[in-house]
Amino acid sequence: MSMSTASAPNPKRMPPRPRLVLRLGFAGRKDLTPAAEALLDAALDRVLRAIAAKLVCIKPDAPKDVDKVKQITAFYADEKPLLRLVTGLCEGADARAADALTRLKDGSPNAIPGLDTELAAVLPFDVLTYRESRPENFRSTFDRQLADCAWVLVLDGTHEKPRPDTEIAKKRRARGYRAQGAFLLRHTDILVAAADPSDPGAAGGTLETVREALEFDLPVVFIHTGKANADDAIHLIEPQDFLPNILDSDAPKPADRDRRLAAWVSQLTADPDAALRKDSDDDREHHRFRVALLTEFFHFHLSPECHEKRWFPQVRLKTWEWFEVWFKSGPIPNSDPKLAPFSTYRDRATTLNRFYSGLYRGAFLLNYILAILAVFLATISLALLVRFAHTPLEHGLLSHFEAAICGFHAGMVVSTAPQEWLCPLLVTLGIGKVGILLLIIRNTWAANHKNWNDRAVDTRYLAERLRAMYYLPQAGSHQPPAPAPTQFASRALHQSAIDWLFDAIVRSISPASLAAAHEAEIPSSGGVGSVKIKRLLVPKPLETIIKVRDSWLGEQIKYHHANSQTMHAMHHCIERVQKFLGWVVLFVVGIDLILLGGEHLGWWPHHWTPFLRDLTPALIAVSAILPAVIAAMSGIRFQSECKALAERSATMRVILEGRRPEIPGSGRIVEAARLKDRVKAAAESPAADTNLGSWCHDVLRLTERVATDFVHEAAEWSVLYTKEVNDPG
């Protein structure tokens, strides 16, 4: 993480508020009886209407006050909520689901006012090949729904069906359909599945997709097409549930079902508002902090950069820059290749992170510098009293300080001539000490009251999670890994405004808005005219894995190498200086004891008296200031966590780079290099038996493992670095 300050953002480049979007993935059997089709239509209408009705209730123009505190959901854009349905454009259940979505649109009898809908698709093979693999009587419907899709993601699977069929052909088809199910889940918040569990499942089929969804921590609405009644067919399955037990149990009653569906929608789109306790002062205080953080994220005129141009904030920012530059070492990593429109949000998070990190680090460093300065002024005052004392009060103070601090005999000869300048100087030094103490108090209050470190931690966490979105969408995923293992944090239970904001951003950015999405056109299935595809996305596995290896892993290895060296240098330098100053203090104390002993034993000639008198202030200064400097350095080591951060970066470098490249799995970059070689070999020999196709899936899995490493690192860093600025006084 860069420690340098960032310039004030351009108000024209402030990120837009995300749109309220909920994504439903759909998986269903293609072979349905007329009775199963009727049941499925009724069940889909019930499920989609319940979800859509709750989604509309969360729209931004809903009541915004909770005990006079703005709701976090008010930070959604002032647009209609969008319900997106992602299917495989297959015959049977997929087609019925697309028709059910159409029935929610304006003008339909079952329309939900104030709601927009969108259809999207994930195909395992290229469009023409996939359409040819569908029954002939379905192809016109396929063309119609294909043209309705806002975007279509096409994978690199291989579909071949020779007669007689071969094992390699079966493996390639199965691999393609499994990839289709996996990528569909990467664009899903809730999976809706329709099947009869008693029917045998195929590779990449509905039941397999359901199991993978639960493992991927997604809630599932399962419609049992073998039941006689729609209300008895709708089961709600959460990630921690055991699938067979749920399917063997009775379906929830309609009222309970709708209530639970509404709760899912709230947890996914409205948390942490959904869990806010109005009677809890702590909840209200945390909520105000969340609202303030989101407000400054989206509103330039309320941003701290616009109001922190005074000299003291700038001193804080420059103080840490000046301090850190002494320890900078290691390679300088290049910036990540940006991916719009995610880059707008990440740039904003990075700007705020650098700003608050600079303020926080500068605040605690400045506190210790000011504390040393205060001790220095106090020492000067004491030294002046020792050297120029001439009043009874000052003689009394001198005797006390000599006995308590200096260790000199009270009879030491000092100047007794009146010094007219002494009193004004002592008053000035006293005022200076009071002023410094007030600055420390003000600095500490501002850092803790304005939550600079909390803001720095939260914005750094957001920036690191958004970094992954420079790469995951290129691998075909808009569903990043959860921020913690599922036993601690479910996708359906967000813990903070930052998690809410990140997920809201990811959901609101459509794959259709990526630069790689382009218009396309194919001949119609009937041979007359053509079918226009609004936005077509075709992931490029070889390009993606090279970018992940070089731009993500390679540059982050450089960063963690440099950060480890910098933080180690900071830790060891401070440690060495502390040890050296400790020996200096011992040396001064030894000199003090020698002078004191020599005086009592009469070792020193009488003409040494002026020299000893002049040496006294220096000894006072050293014996008072150096312990303060040592204590300040200990505080800087504690506040900066330089040792822990150095070890963390060193560990991350081992995870990413590995210790021994020849050991399989020894580092992520080694995994990426090996996968790149396999993908490249498959591209050079497409007919080889070792080329099973669907390499996008392998690249996706590796990219997600890398993203998981970084999100866990960011979460651990957030816990490690959560602290307030201490008052060194």
> In this structure, what token pair is assigned to residue 288?
């105000």
Tell me how crowded residue 283 is: count the other CB atoms within 10 A of its CB.
17
Q: Is 299 left (phi over 0), alpha (psi -120 to 50) or beta?
A: beta
Fold of the domain built from segment(s) 26-274: Rossmann fold (3.40.50)
Residue 271 phi/psi, 5-degree rounding, is -70, 145
Q: Which residue has the higher pLDDT, 563 or 386?
A: 563
What are the residues whose beta carbons fall under 8 Å from the beta carbon of 403, sequence distance 6 or more? 410
- For residues 91 and 602, which has the higher predicted lDDT (pLDDT)? 91
For the ranges 216-230, 457-471, 522-536, 643-657, the lowest mean pLDDT is seen at: 643-657
Beta bridge partners of 190: 24
d(CA 656, CA 258) in angstroms, rounded, equals 45
- Strand-pairing partners, residue 83, are 22, 117
Residue 220 is which amino acid?
Answer: V
In whole angstroms, give the CA distance from residue 623 to residue 632.
Answer: 15
- What's the mean pLDDT in 53-57? 91
Task: Name the packing angle between helices 668-684 and 642-657 (round to 10°).
Answer: 30
Condensed to tens digits (0 to 9), the pLDDT of residues 363-372 reads: 888 888 888 8
CA distance 573 to 621: 24
pLDDT for res 142 = 96
Pairing of strands 530-537, 518-523: antiparallel
Please answer whether residues 40 and 47 qualify as being in contact, where contact means their C-beta atoms are separated by less than 8 angstroms: no
Tokens at residue 583, please?
Answer: 């020996």
Concatenated DSSP letters of 141-169:
HHHHHHHH-SEEEE--------SS--HHH
User: Measured in Å, how far apart are the chain's first and last C-alpha atoms?
Assistant: 30
Q: Residue 88 has what pLDDT?
A: 95
Asked which of 297-301, 441-445, 527-531, 681-685 is least confident by mean pLDDT, the reply is 297-301
Q: Which residues of 615-643 are buried (b: 16+ CB within 10 A; e: fewer)?
A: ebbebbbbbbbbebbbbbbebbbebbbbb
Helix (H, G, I), strand (E, B) or coil at 647: helix
Instruction: Give the Cα separation of 615 and 260 in Å (integer).
Output: 81
User: Is residue 437 over pLDDT 80?
Assistant: yes
Q: For residue range 486-514, list pLDDT tens digits in order.
A: 444 444 433 478 888 999 999 999 999 99
Q: How far is CA 313 from the centre of its chain?
A: 26
Bridge partners of 25?
86, 191
What is the per-residue pLDDT for 570? 86
Contacts of 181 (CB under 8 A, 6+ apart): 27, 88, 204, 205, 208, 209, 212
Question: Please, which pLDDT band fits residue 414 given cuts at 50, 70 and 90?
Answer: very low
C-alpha span between 513 and 566 (Å, rounded): 39
**What residues contact 304, with CB distance under 8 A and at least 6 apart?**
296, 352, 355, 356
- Which residues, 6 or more positions from 300, have their beta carbon under 8 angstroms from its beta carbon? 9, 11, 14, 306
Q: Record the pTM.
A: 0.85
pLDDT at 394 over 50: no
Q: 273 or 674: whose pLDDT is higher?
A: 674
How far is the C-alpha of 551 from the C-alpha of 336, rounded, in Å? 6
Whether the predicted pLDDT of 55 surpasses 70? yes
Report which DSSP code applies to 406.
Answer: I
Q: Which helix (H) or strand (E) holds 235?
A: strand 234-237
* Helix, strand, or coil (residue 190): strand
Share of the chain above pLDDT 90, in %: 42
Encode 533-563 in three state secondary structure.
Answer: EEEEECCCHHHHHHHHHHHHHHHHHHHHHHH
Query: Which structure tokens are listed for 460?
Result: 């750094």
Cα 351 to Cα 339, 347, 460, 646: the distances in Å are 17, 6, 10, 23
Q: Whole-number mean pLDDT of the chain?
A: 82
What average pLDDT does this structure show over 281-306? 73
CA distance readout (Å), 555 to 33, 548, 655, 674: 55, 10, 14, 18
Q: Give mean pLDDT, residues 377-382.
A: 78
Average pLDDT for 625-642:
80
Within 13 A of 349's CA, how many CA atoms are on the CB side? 21
In the β-sheet with 151-154, what is the strand arrangement from edge to edge? 234-237, 220-224, 190-195, 21-28, 82-87, 116-123, 151-154, 530-537, 518-523
pLDDT at 429: 81
The full set of domain ranges for the chain reads: 26-274, 281-314, 342-476+542-720
What distance in Å separates the CA atoms of residue 402 and residue 689, rounded to the nearest whole number?
A: 91
- The answer, yes or no, to whether residue 19 has pLDDT greater than 70, is yes
